Chain A
Amino acid sequence: MNRRRLTLDRRRFLTAVGATGLTMSFLRALPSYAAGTDKRYLILLFTPNGVVRHLWGADSTGTNPGDFTLRPWLAPLAPFKDKLVVIHGLANKAANGGSHGPGMVTLWTGDTITSDGTFASGISIDQAIAAQLNAGTPFPSIALRARSPLDYTAKDPQSRMIYSGPNSPVDPREDVLAALSDLFVGIPAAGSTTPPPVDPAITRRDEIRKRLYGRLDAELGRINPKLCSDDQHQLEALREGWAALTASLGRSGPGTGAISTCSQPAGLTGSTDYRTTIKENIDLLVMALACDLTRVASLQFSAARSPMVFDWLGHTLDHHSISHTAPQPSSLGPNLNMGQSDPEHPTADQLATYAVPIQQMTDINLFYAQQVAYLAQQLAAFQVDSTTTLLDQCIICWGNELDNGSNHDHFAMPFVLIGGGNGHLKTNQLVEFPLADPYKPLSNAQYAHNDLLVTLAQAMGVTSITTFGDASLNRGAITSILA
C-alpha cells in the first residue's frame, strides 16, 4: 500500500476551511444569511473520458456579451444559451500529468497529486462550500452517481470525485430508491401537497436510534484511546458519521426555502438501465433542490475512464476505448512535445482518418449534453417567483476528468456553467484563457482550474474562500464571471 501517509487529519483540514465535523452538524441548526431570500444552489456535474476539442465548446463571434456560437457537442444547450458560461483554456495542473484517476480526484479538489492510484489529498469545493454555507437545509450536501451494471463498482480514485478531506472520498448515492426514502422524509408524495402522516413505527425507530447513538459514542470512547493514530483516524470518521446521523434525528419535511409545489419525485423505478437511471437521478436531484433539501449537490455520470457501452447508439466498443481512437494532438505531428499540431484545428485528412470514432464520441457526448439540457429544463420548470426559476438560482458546473480524451491531456479542461447563481453569475458568455503553449501547460502563463473552484465559492456567497486546493496554482477568482 503506497497511499500517501496523511499529515493532516480530516478534522484539521475542515478547520482549515473554517469548520469542523462537529460544527458542521451543530451549526446546521442555525440558518445563516444563505437561508434567506438570496438562495443559491451548486450542482457539480461530471461526464467522463474527455472531449474531442474542436467539437466541444464555443466560438467567439464578437466582443459583446452573447457573441458566441456553440460548437456541435454543446448544441443541446442552445435553448439555455443566455444562461451559459463556456470556459476554454483552464488547465488542471493539479492532475500533474496523470491520466483518468488523477484527473478525477483533482477535478473538484485542485490539490496536486504526486502519485497515480491515490485518492484526493484535500477537500472538494462543494464540501468546503457546504461547510461554510450553514444553509440550515436538511442536508449539507447530496452526492449522486448514475451507474449501470457495466460500470466500475470498486471504491477507487476513478469513481470518486467528492472528498470531505484528504483521502476521504464521499461515497455518492447510487440507488435512487434508497435516496428517495432517506432524503424525502415527511415530504408529500408526487401529485400531493399533504405531507405523509407520521408513522408510529418511525417514531419508535427514532426513540431506539437516540439510545443507540448514545451507546455507540460511549463505546467508541472506550476503544479509541487505545489505538494508534491512523486507526484512531478511522474510528473518528465513524464518530463523525454518528454525530451527523444524530443531528438528523426527527428531521422531517422540506427545507425552509422550498418551492410550494415541492414533492417526492414521481415514477422512480430504481431501474439500473443507464438511460433510465440517469433520468431518475436528475428527477430526484431537481426535486431535492425544489424542496430545498440541500444547497450543494453533485451528480456523477458513470466514472472516470467510463466503460459504458452505448449499444442503443449502435456502438460495440465502450466509451473509454472509443475515446482513445479519436484524434489526438500527438498523432498530428512527429513529436507530441513539439507543438506542431493544434487540436482545435485538425486537418481534413485527420478528420477523414478518424471519422468513425469522432462520430461515436459525438454520439456519446450529445447524449450526455441532452441529459444536461434535461436537467436545466427541469430546473427551469420550477418558478420561484414571476421572474426567477430554480435554474436561475443554480450554478451547474459541468466538468470532465480529461481535456483531450485520446491523450489523457489536462491542458484545456472542458467546463461549462449553467444557471445564474441568483444573479451572482455573469452568464451568456464565452471565457477564453490563453493557451500560452499548448504542450507546456504547466508553464506559469496558463491559468489553472483552481481559479474556477474559487469562483464557484464566491458565486455561492462563500467569500471567505479566496484560494482553493494547491495554493501555488491559485490566482484568484475569475472576476469576469462574477456579477
Chain B
Amino acid sequence: MQKLSHQLVLWLGVAGAAACAAGAGDPPPDRRLKNAGTPVADDGTRGVSLLDLGAQFASQGKCDTAVTGRTPLRRISRIEYNNAVRDLFGDNSHPADSFVAEEIVAGYNSNSVTPVSQLDNQQYLEAAETIAQNVVKNFAAISGCTGTSDAACSDAYLKRIARRAYHGTLPDAEAQTLLDDVHATATAIDVDAGIQLGIESILLSPRFLYIVEFGDGTTTIVPLTPSELAGRLAASLWRSIPDDALLAAADADQLGTSDQVTQQAHRMLADSRAAPMLADFVDQWLGIKTADALLKDATTFPNFTTGVRASVAAEPAAFFTRAVTSDAKLDELFTSTTTYGDQNLATFYGGKLATDGSIALPTERVGLLTEAAFLASQAHPVLASPVLRGKLIRVQMLCDPVQPPPPDVNQKVDSPTGTQTTGDVFLAHAKDPFCAGCHQYMDPIGYGFNQFDATGAFIGSKGGSNAGEVVAPAAVDAPDVTGKFNGPGELASRLAGSQLVKQCYTMQSLRYALGRSEVTADACSANDAWQHFVKSGFDVKEAIVGIVTSDSFRYRANGTPGGACQ
C-alpha cells in the first residue's frame, strides 16, 4: 500500500500552538514546484504559473485557435437555485437554504464531483411542489395571464420561463413535450394541476438542475451556442438564469464577439442581480463564515453578540459590492480607509457611521484584511490564529498553496500562559526545522495581525508585536511581496502593489466563474483574462469580465457521447 504522505490537509485547524516534532531524520517537505502549468496543489490547481504558460503559448501561436479545459456537467448550487426562483417567480423565500451544501472545488462551492444524492432529490421535489403551488395560487399576478384556464397565454408563459430556467436553451421538442404533458394533465385532472405539473417539470428538469451544454458543432472544441453562452453568463455573473434581454441578444446573434460579451457583462455587473454573486464570491475568496458559525466563547467575548456577529459577517459583501460598482481598482480593496456597515459595526470598530452607510476606519484598520469578519473567521473560539490568517492570505491572495503536514507530525498544543501572547506560543513552529518547513509560509504573515483578537477586535499591544514577514512564495518568484512588515497597514500596501496578488486574483476569478480548477488547456484563456485585467488598470470587475470573454468561457471541450470525457 502506498502510504499517504503530506496529506493532512485538515491539520491546519488545530487551535493554539503546535510545538511539533517530526520522526527522526525526516527532511522538511519540499514544496517548491515552479514548473509552469503543472499542478501546484493537491487539488490540481496550477496557480499563476498558468499565466506564464499562456503567454508562452500565445507567442508560439498556440492560442490562435480556440482552446479550453473541460467543464464537467455541474449541478446548480443553492445560491443559483434561490436566485433562479426569485427571477422566475418573484419567490424570495430562499427555498434552497435547507438543501444539502455543495462540494468545494478549487476553493469554491461547485456541485461537479459527486452525483446527486437521494436527499438532494427529495429536497428538489418538495421545493418544486411548494413553489409550484404558490405560482398556481397567484398565477394571474405572476404570469400576466388572466388565469390558469387561459391555455394560449399559459402555454406561452411556460415556454418563456422554461427557456430561462433551462439556462437559455429550450429545444422545440422539449417545449412540445412539456406542453403536451401539461395539457394531458389538465384534461385528466384539471387546469391547475396542469400548470402545477408544468412548473414542477421545469424545476425538476435536468436542464434546470444542471448546466447542460452541447456547444455548436461536432469537433472537440466547439463554441457554445449563443443561448448556452447566455446561460453561462447568467450563472457566473448573477448566479442565476438569463433575463429576456440576454436571451434577446443571444437570438439576435449579439454574443458572438468578445466585445459583445464584454458589453453584456458590463450591463449585467451594473444590474442589482450582480450583488448576490459578488457577495458569494468575496465570502468564499476570503473564507468568511456565516454569522452563526462566527460564534465565539461568550465568557471571553461577552460583547460579540448575535447582532454584532451578523453585522460583522455582512461587512465583506457590503464593502466589496460597493467597490465593484464604483469601479474600484484591486489595490483599493487592500488600502481603503472606508468601509460600509451598520451602527453595530461602527461601534465595534470605534468608527463613526455616516448617513450613507459608510464608516471611516480608525487608524489601526485598513481594507479587507482588517475586516473583523476576515479576522474572526480565521480564528478559534478563544484564540486568534496566526496560522489560519497567514494561510488564508498565502493561499487566496498569493495563490501559493501550502502543503499539509505529513502524518507523523506530533502536535502539542498549548494556550498562552502568563504574559505570553498567541504569537509567542506560535513561534514554536519556527524553532523546529521540520515544522518551519511549512509554517514559515503561514505563521509570520499571521503575526502581523497579533493585535486583533479572535473576534477581530483591536487589542493593541496586549496582543504583542505586530511584526510580520512574508516568506518568499514557494510556487512562484515574487520579490514584490517578500520581506518583513509591521502590522496590517504595511502588509496591505505591499499586497496592493504586488503583481502576484493581481495575477492570483485573476486565477481566483477564473475558478469561481468556471466552477472548476484550471487545467493546462486554460492557459491561453487565463493569459487573455490577465491581459484584459492589466489593460483595465486592475479594475476589480474587469478580472471577471476578462474570464467571461475568454475561450475557456465561450467554448467547451466535448467528449465522445458515451465515451471518455476530455
- Point out residues on A near B: beta carbons under 8 Å: 1-3, 10, 93, 96-102, 112-117, 119, 149-150, 153-156, 158, 164, 167-173, 175, 178, 182, 204-205, 207-209, 211-212, 215-216, 218-220, 222-223, 225-238, 241-242, 244-245, 305, 307, 309, 311, 316-318, 320-321, 324-325, 328, 330-331, 334-337, 406-408, 442
Contacts and interface: CB of A to CB of B under 8 A. Distances in A.
Contact of B564 (A1, A173, A178, A228): A228
A211 to B, nearest CB: 6
B4 A98 contact: yes
A381 to B, nearest CB: 29
A150 B129 CA distance: 31
Contacts of B404: 116
Given A171-B120, A172-B119, A316-B382, A96 B15 contact: no
Contact of A228 (B188, B204, B563): B563
Contacts of A232: 562
B117 A97 contact: no
Contacts of B307: none
Contacts of A209: 125
A99 B10 contact: yes
B24 A155 contact: no
A320 B559 CA distance: 43
A77 B200 CA distance: 49
B204 A216 contact: yes
Contacts of B204: 212, 216
A369 to B, nearest CB: 24
Interface residues of B, number: 100
A231 B292 contact: no
Contacts of B112: 1
Contacts of A225: 561-562
Contacts of A93: 1
Given A149-B295, A171-B119, A229 B16 contact: no
A207 B185 CA distance: 9
Most buried by B among A115, A238, A335: A238
A471 B566 CA distance: 31
Contact of A331 (B193, B200, B412, B560): B412
Contacts of B559: 227-231
Nearest to B24: A335
B72 to A, nearest CB: 6
Contacts of B411: 324, 328, 406-407
User: Lowest 8 CB-CB distances: which A-B pairs, in order?
Assistant: A228-B559, A321-B15, A237-B115, A116-B7, A241-B121, A228-B565, A149-B292, A231-B73
A229 B563 contact: yes
Contact of B562 (A155, A178, A229): A229
Contacts of B563: 228-229
B363 interface: no
Nearest to A233: B115
Nearest to B2: A114
B114 A241 contact: no
Nearest to A335: B24
Given A98-B407, A114-B4, A228-B560, A321 B73 contact: no
A334 B118 contact: no
Given A171-B100, A324-B14, 10 more contacts: A96-B1, A170-B119, A207-B189, A219-B177, A219-B205, A241-B121, A317-B380, A317-B381, A320-B13, A408-B8
Nearest to A473: B1
B206 A150 contact: no
A331 B189 CA distance: 72
A150 B296 CA distance: 10
B378 interface: no
B432 interface: no
Contact of B297 (A167, A175, A233, A316): A316
Nearest to A100: B10
Contacts of B560: 228
Given A117-B9, A204-B193, A335-B24, A150 B565 contact: no
A439 B314 CA distance: 48
Interface stretch (B27-35, B102-110, B235-243, B336-344): B102-110
B42 A330 contact: no
A418 to B, nearest CB: 27
Interface string B291-310: 01101011110000000000
A336 B409 CA distance: 9
Contacts of B205: 216, 219
A220 B8 CA distance: 40
A304 to B, nearest CB: 8
B7 A117 contact: yes
Nearest to A218: B177
22 contacts: A2-B39, A96-B1, A98-B4, A99-B8, A99-B10, A154-B104, A155-B101, A155-B102, A167-B114, A182-B122, A204-B189, A207-B193, A208-B189, A215-B181, A220-B206, A225-B562, A230-B565, A234-B116, A245-B122, A317-B16, A321-B14, A442-B3
